[in-house]
Amino acid sequence: MKKYAVISMDVEDWYHTYFPEKQVDRSQSLLDGLDVALDILKEKDIKGSFFVVGEIAEKLSEKLRTMDNNGHEIGCHNWEHLRPVTMPVDKFKEQLVKSKKTIEEVLGHNIEGYRAPSLGIDTERHKVVQELFGYDSSYVKPQKSHKYGTIKLDGFTELAPCIYKKGNFTEFEVSTQRIGNINLLLGGGYIRMLPWPFIKWMTRQYLASGRPYVIYMHPIDLSSKAIPRVEGESLDRYLRTHIGRKSMVKRFKAVISMLEEQGYEFVTFEELRNKELTDLEEQSVCGSQRHIVLKDLTT
C-alpha cells in the first residue's frame, strides 16, 4: 500500500486562533506565516490543502487565486473561526454557506473541503457539512480538552486506515499517536511546544504504521513576527502561544524530511479523494490479500 501525507494549514490570523470570541486590536497580522509555509512547500515541490477563514478570504483574494493556480487546494474553515459546537445549528449553517460562497467567488469555482475551527464539531453539525461539502477533515480520535468535539461516523465505512466514506462524502482523520491513554495530535502547536526528541520519536512511531499522515499547521506557528499582547491575557495562554516559535520552521522542515525518508507521497485531500482513494477502493474490492480493510462503522 502506498503511504500518503497531506500537509494542511488552517489559514487564520493570530486573533482567530487564540481570541475568536474576544475583541482585540486586529491591526497587526501574522499571516506572513502562510508565505513561510508556501515557500517551504515550493522548495520541496509539495502541494498542500489550505482551509481558509471566510472573513479574510477577500483580503487574501489575490494570494488565494495564485495558490489555487499553483496546484494548492483551498477549502473552508468557517466564517470567523467560532467553534461549530458553540453555535446553534441554523447559525452554523448560515455562516458555512456564507463562507463557502465567499471563497468560491474569490476563486471562481466550487470548493469541496472543510475543517472545523479547533476541530470543535459534533455529529449534528457534521451532517450540515456533509450537505454542503465533498469532504471534511475534522475527525480526530477522542481528546481530553473540552474544546474538541465528537463526531460519530454513523453509516461511514473505513475505506483505508483513517479515511472514511459515506456515499460521495469522505472524512479524513487528523493524525494522532496514542501515548498511554492519550491520543496526542501530530500537528501545529504540539510540534511547536513539545520537546523535539519526543515529537521525533512520536512521529516515527506513527509513520512506521504506514497510515496516512495528516498534519495541520497555522500561520501563527511559522510567522516571524511577535504575537501582540492582549490585555487580561493569562500567563498560561501567553506561554502556550510563544513556546517554540523560533524553532518551528526547522521542525516543520524536519517532519517533511522524515516523511520523505519513510517513502511517503505528498498529496492534497482532493487528490487523495478523487484519484488515490479510487485506487484504494479498487484494491480493496479486487485484492483481499492487500492490507486494506473495509470496516462497517455503523455499529
Interface positions with Zn ion (CB under 5 A): 10, 12, 117
**Smallest gap, in angstroms, from Cβ of residue 12 to Zn ion?**
5
Judged by beta carbon, residue 47 or residue 115, the one nearer Zn ion is 115
The DSSP call for residue 27 is S
**Residue number, 188 or 244, with CB nearest to Zn ion:** 188
The least CB distance from residue 296 to Zn ion, in Å, is 32
Strand 4-11 versus strand 213-217 pairing type = parallel
- Distance between CA atoms of residues 20 and 14, nearest Å: 9
Q: What are phi and psi of 111, to 5 degrees?
A: -120, 155
Residue pair 37/9 in contact (Cβ under 8 Å)? The answer is yes
CB 101 within 8 A of CB 126: no
CB of 185 to Zn ion, least distance (A): 13
* Least distance in angstroms from the C-beta of 118 to Zn ion: 6
Looking at beta carbons only, is 207 or 223 nearer to Zn ion? 223
Strand partners, 199: none
For Zn ion, the closer CB: 117 or 292: 117
Question: Looking at beta carbons only, is 12 or 173 nearer to Zn ion?
Answer: 12
Nearest to 213 by CA among 250, 261, 266, 168: 266
282, containing H or E segment:
helix 277-286
Q: How far is the CB of 51 from Zn ion (least distance, A)?
A: 7
Give CA separation, 283 vs 79, 167, 213, 291, 294, in Å.
Answer: 38, 18, 20, 9, 11
**Shortest separation between residue 77's beta carbon and Zn ion, angstroms:** 6
Nearer to Zn ion, 156 or 175 (CB): 175
Q: Which residue is nearest to Zn ion (CB)?
A: 10
